[in-house]
Structure 1
Amino acid sequence: MSIKKHIPNTLTLLNLFAGLCALIHAFNGNYAEAFSLVCLGIFFDFWDGFLARALNAQSPIGLQLDSLADMVTSGVVPGLIVYKMLGDIQENQAQYTLTEDTYYMGVVPYLGFLITLGSCYRLANFNVDERQTDSFIGLPTPANALWICSLPIILEETGGDGFIFEFLSNPFVLVIIAFLSAFLLNAEIPLFSLKAKAFTWEKSKIQIIFLGLAAVLLVSLQFLAIPLVILLYVLLSVVNNKFLNKV
C-alpha cells in the first residue's frame, strides 16, 4: 500500500491523540485547554475524511478508526466535562435542594455521561445508516462536543456573577442539558451538511446563510455564541426541511 493510503488514518489517530490530551486537561479542570484540543481533534476529523476522498484512500478500517477517535474526542470528553461541572457544584455550592446523600454518592455528577452514551449510540448508528451519506440525522458528535465543551468556559468568563453564571451553575440545568444533548444526537431530525456540493448560491445557500450568521455571532459574543450557533444550525435545518417539503 502506498504512503498516501496511510495519510487519512494518520490524521484520524491525531484526532484520537488530541482527544486523549483533552481528557487529561478536562479531568484537571483546564477547560480552555480541553476545548482547544477538542477543536484540534475536530480539525483532524474533517481533514481525514476530505483527504480519504481526495486520495481515493477510503477503507473499512478508516471508517472504524474514525468512529473510535470521535468517540473519545467528541463523546468521552464532553461527558467528562459535564461530570466535572456537576462535581464542582457539589464542592463549591450548597444552595440547591439536592440531598447530600444523593449528590455525594455521585449519582448526579455521573449523569453527565449520558452525553457519552448518546454519542456512542449516534456514532454506531451513523456507520450503518445509509440515509446519512450527504446530510445528517441527529446532531453530529463534533457539533455537540463544541457546544458542551464551551459551557465551563462561558461559566468562567461570567466572573462568578449574573444570570448566565446562575443558570450554568444549577445542577438541574446541567442534567437537563445532558439529557437534551443525548436526545439531539439521536433525534430523527434531518440536518444539512456543511460540505457544499457546488460553490453556487442556489445549491449552497443554506450553508452560506448559516456560516454568515455564525461568523457574526462568534465575533460578537465569542464563546457565548457557540451554543447559539448550534441552536441556529438545528433551527435552520428544520426551516430548510419544511421549505423543501413544500417544493
Structure 2
Amino acid sequence: MKKHIPNFITLLNLLSGTIAVMLAVQNQLELAALFVFLGIVFDFFDGFAARMLKVSSELGVQLDSLADMVTCGVVPGIVMFQLLNDSTGTGWATIMATDMPASWLPYVGLLIPMASAYRLAKFNIDERQTDSFIGLPTPANALLILSLPLIVAYQNNDLMNTVIYNPWFLVVLSVVSSYMLNAEIPLFSLKIKTLAFQPNAHRYSFLLLSVVLLILLWFAAIPLIIVMYVLMSLFMQKRNFA
C-alpha cells in the first residue's frame, strides 16, 4: 500500500496543475499562481515520501515529469500568453512599429511549454542530473513566470508594472527562460540528505537569503531569488574548478 503514496501525491500535483490551467485560460492569473505553488509543494513531497518510504520506482519518475509538464510547463506558457496578450492590447503600437501583427506576439509565450517538455524528457534520461541539475528546473522557471501577475496584483509599484507589461521584456523573458531550461549550466539541488552544516552550507545560505528577500520584497523577491540561485551555482562551479 505504501508504494502508492508518493504516486498519489504526484497526482495531487497534476490535479493542482490542471486546475491552474483552467484558471489561467480564464485569465485568473493570481489564482492560477496559487495552484501552481500548491503543485510545486506536492512535487517536493512526492520525492521526499518516496525516499522516506524507500519505494522509488520508474513509474514514479515518469509520472512526476508528466505532472510537472502540466503544472510547471503548460501553466507558465498560458500565463505568459495572457500577459503578452494584455501588454500588446494596451500599447504595443506605441512602443514600436512592426510588420508582425501584434496579435501574433502572445504565442511567443508558448515557447515555455515546448522548452519545458524538452527539458523534462532530457532530465529523465540524463544520468548526470541525479544529485544536481543541468539547466533551470521547471519548478524554478514556473515560479519566475507566475511571480509576474502576483507582483502586478499585490506590489502596487508603477515602475514594476510598467516593466512587466512591456512586450519586449516579456518576449525576452520567454526566450531567455526557455533557453535556461535546457542550458548546459550546472545548478545545485536543494535536496538535503543530511542535516550536517558543512555539506549543506550553500543550501542553508541560499534558503536564509531567500527568506530575507521574501520578507523584504514579497513577490518581487522571486525573480531575484531565481537569479541568485543561478549566480550561486555558477560561483560554486567556478570555485570547484579553481
Same fold (TM over 0.5): yes
Name the counterpart of 1:11.
Answer: 9
> Which residue of the other structure, out of 169, 173, 177, is the alignment partner of 1:173?
169
User: In 1, Cα distance between the equivalents of 2:191 and 2:229?
Assistant: 14
Query: What is the deviation of 1:164?
Result: 1.5
User: In 1, Cα distance between the equivalents of 2:208 and 2:127?
Assistant: 30
When the two structures are aligned, how many residues end up with a matched partner?
241
Query: What is the deviation of 1:192?
Result: 0.6
User: In 2, Cα distance between the equivalents of 1:49 and 1:98?
Assistant: 49
Query: What is the deviation of 1:101?
Result: 5.8
TM-score normalized by structure 1? Answer: 0.93
Name the counterpart of 1:225.
Answer: 221
Q: Where do residues 42-191 of structure 1 align in structure 2 (5 Å cutoff)?
A: 42-93=40-91, 94-99=93-98, 102-104=101-103, 107-159=104-156, 162-191=158-187
> Which residue of the other structure, out of 181, 188, 193, is the alignment partner of 2:189?
193
Q: Which runs of 5+ in 2 are unaligned?
A: none
Name the counterpart of 2:23.
Answer: 25
**1:219-247 residue CA offsets vs partner (Å, 9 max, x unmatched):** 0000000000000100000111111112x
Q: Does structure 2 conserve the Cα–Cα contact (< 8 Å) formed by 1:20 and 1:72?
A: yes
Query: What is the deviation of 1:99?
Result: 4.2
Q: Does structure 2 conserve the Cα–Cα contact (< 8 Å) formed by 1:26 and 1:81?
A: yes
**1:107-159 residue CA offsets vs partner (Å, 9 max, x unmatched):** 21000011111111110010000000001111100011001001112123354
Q: Does structure 2 conserve the Cα–Cα contact (< 8 Å) formed by 1:119 and 1:185?
A: yes
TM-score normalized by structure 2? Answer: 0.95
User: In 2, Cα distance between the equivalents of 1:59 and 1:158?
Assistant: 42
Which aligned segments of 4 or more residues in structure 1 are displaced greater than 6 angstroms?
A: none
Query: What is the deviation of 1:95?
Result: 2.0
User: In 1, Cα distance between the equivalents of 2:151 and 2:127?
Assistant: 37
Q: Does structure 2 conserve the Cα–Cα contact (< 8 Å) formed by 1:197 and 1:203?
A: no
Q: Decide whether aligned partners of structure 1 residues 174 and 72 sit closer, same or farther in structure 2, where only a CA change above 3 A counts.
A: same
Query: What is the deviation of 1:98?
Result: 4.3
SS at structure 2 position matched to 1:108: helix
Q: Which amino acid aligns with 1:119?
A: S
Query: What is the deviation of 1:96?
Result: 2.0
Counting aligned pairs with the same residue, the percent is: 49
Q: Decide whether aligned partners of structure 1 residues 132 and 171 sit closer, same or farther in structure 2, where only a CA change above 3 A counts.
A: same
1:235 aligns with 2:234: no
Q: Does structure 2 conserve the Cα–Cα contact (< 8 Å) formed by 1:32 and 1:153?
A: yes
Q: Which runs of 5+ in 1 are unaligned?
A: none
Q: Decide whether aligned partners of structure 1 residues 101 and 125 sit closer, same or farther in structure 2, where only a CA change above 3 A counts.
A: closer
User: In 2, Cα distance between the equivalents of 1:203 and 1:241?
Assistant: 15
User: In 1, Cα distance between the equivalents of 2:197 and 2:64?
Assistant: 31
Superposition RMSD in Å = 1.4
Q: Decide whether aligned partners of structure 1 residues 175 and 101 sit closer, same or farther in structure 2, where only a CA change above 3 A counts.
A: closer
Q: Which amino acid aligns with 1:233?
A: Y
Q: Does structure 1 conserve the Cα–Cα contact (< 8 Å) formed by 2:155 and 2:220?
A: no
